[in-house]
Amino acid sequence: MSNYLKFLLEFLIFPGLVFVAIIGLLLSWLDRKISARLQWRVGPPWYQCFADIIKLFGKETIIPQGRKLIFLLAPIVSAISVILISVLLYNANFYPQCSFLGDIILVIYLLALPPLMTILGASASKNPLSSVGASREMTLYFAYELPFVIVTILLIMKAHGSIRLFELINYQKTHGAYLYSISGVITFIIYLFTMQAKLGYVPFDIAEAEQEIMAGVYTEYSGFALAMFKLTKAMLLFVFPMFIITLVWGGINSISTLWKFAIIFILTVLVKNTNPRVRIDQALKFFWLGMTPLAILGLILGLYKL
Amino acid sequence: MKDLRLLALKKSPWVFHVAAASCNNCDIEILDALTPRFDVERFGIVLVGSPRHADALLVTGVINRKSLPRVLKVYEETPKPCLVIAIGTCACDTHMFKNSYNVVGPFDKYLPVDVYIPGCPPKPEAIILGVVKALQKL
């Protein structure tokens, strides 16, 4: 019984909903503020993202004709999956006995859920612009998932084929972080680009390209459903760098996690602000013809312990 | 609870731009108001691409037989509560097109307009002032 209670508390409060939502919203404010300063303007006040979310929760939610249940469930499921990743990463880092066999595979599946739910929700709304956005999101997902999974296999292979998150962290504690090797650097680069694409940040914001297809996949969303999608993006902005640090940069264990996090975050925001949007075929070429051979090269280097 | 919702709405009004057959000068002034020079993101104002996300509709132009059903549809698509802001003298009172054969009258005959910003075209400063005053009125 107390196990369930503990899980519920973790899910709702500490590494879960409340904590991740607050940190994520503050980070997305920081992202907007840095973007504003780069464009030589003042930018929004610190409570801006909280105001956005509270406002959206208070507004009317219009449900279009089409698959109403899927339309409403999609944003909730994507938010829940990000919260679960946060709980899993927290437990793997601080309570090794809670890390179970195959949780890294679970984390990869949970990371796949937000884009999948975006595609489902957009298709369920029966809006032509949403369906264009959904097809773009699907192509982008197939594009980045291939190198992402290949480099994750590389990490598992290096840790003697273990698929427990804790073993990966433990391996890095004894042998040094993965990042300080050639294949580790390749993994880090591919993770950064995957993060950019998964968050829908500028070089890869093809699915919600505002100038082309209105709001793309989110065109029909309003009120609390839109708030859930915004919240998912904000939470992913915190959870994905933590995922990268756990897997390739020695785990979350000391105060040094802060500057590691800051480096990943600032790199992401700078890439976002200094690049124009690519076309969908360019994104596919970038990931399949550029990043995938790089990932396979990393895999081969990893075989020779480089 | 209601106060919190109202406060949040005041702090983050997302605007959607409805260009109802104007001469485009008001539209250009709106785009000017959204540039980094004026930086309306200070007040949380963001231009959104879909009326479903909008809290305020910026309506420009003189309303005619063709554009009236479209504007009404966009208004219905917007989740409530939402503000309607008429920008430019045309949108406020049809201006010099008053007696034209296809003009069906000023906006406030069909929509509950909250703010009138006259001018041909109004300056970006005037537009920002109008929106901020409308938010204080709430």
With CB atoms and an 8 Å threshold, state whether B8 touches A41. no
* Residue A82's pLDDT band (cuts 50, 70, 90): very high
Residues of A in contact with B50 (CB under 8 A): 214-215, 218-220
With CB atoms and an 8 Å threshold, state whether B36 touches A40. yes
With CB atoms and an 8 Å threshold, state whether B9 touches A40. no
pLDDT above 70: residue A134: yes
Q: What angle do CA A220, A224, A227 make, to 5 degrees?
A: 85
Q: Give the DSSP H/E element, type plus range, for residue A53.
A: helix A48-58
pLDDT above 90: residue A252: no
Neighbours of A7 (CB within 10 A): 14
What pLDDT does B118 receive? 86
Residue of B nearest to A45 (CA): B42
DSSP secondary structure string, A253-304?
Answer: -STHHHHHHHHHHHHHHHHHHH-PPPPHHHHHHIIIIIIHHHHHHHHHHHHT
Per the CB < 8 A criterion, the answer to whether A53 and A227 are in contact is: yes
Crossing angle between the packed helical segments A128-158 and A182-199, to the nearest 10 degrees: 160
CA distance A305 to A158: 8
ipTM for this model: 0.83
All structural domains of chain B with their residue ranges: 2-137
What's the average model confidence in pLDDT over A56-77?
86
What pLDDT does A147 receive? 92
Side chain identity at A58, as an amino acid letter?
A: G
Residue of B nearest to A54 (CA): B8
Residues of A in contact with B138 (CB under 8 A): none
pLDDT above 70: residue B43: yes
CA distance A245 to B58: 45
> What domain range is A136 assigned to?
2-303
With CB atoms and an 8 Å threshold, state whether A222 touches B52. yes
Alpha-helix runs per DSSP H in A2-47: 2-12, 17-38
What's the average model confidence in pLDDT over A247-267?
86
**Rg, Å, chain B Cα set:** 14
Chain B: nearest CA to A262, how far in angstroms? 24
Chains A, B: CB pairs < 8 Å: 86
Per the CB < 8 A criterion, the answer to whether B38 and B128 are in contact is: yes
> What percent of chain A has pLDDT above 70?
99
Q: Which two tokens stand for residue A155?
A: 């990490």
What pLDDT does B114 receive? 85
* Cis before B121? omega within 30: yes
Per the CB < 8 A criterion, the answer to whether A265 and A241 are in contact is: yes
Of A36, A50, A226, the CB nearest to B53: A226
Per the CB < 8 A criterion, the answer to whether A154 and A298 are in contact is: yes
Cβ-proximal residues to A109 (8 Å cutoff; 6+ apart), any chain:
none
What pLDDT does A1 receive? 64
For B2-137, CATH gives 3.40.50.12280
Q: Which two tokens stand for residue A243?
A: 């995922």
Number of structural domains chain A divides into: 1
Q: Is the pTM of this model over 0.95?
A: no
pLDDT above 70: residue A295: yes
CA distance A95 to A15: 13
Per the CB < 8 A criterion, the answer to whether A264 and A245 are in contact is: yes
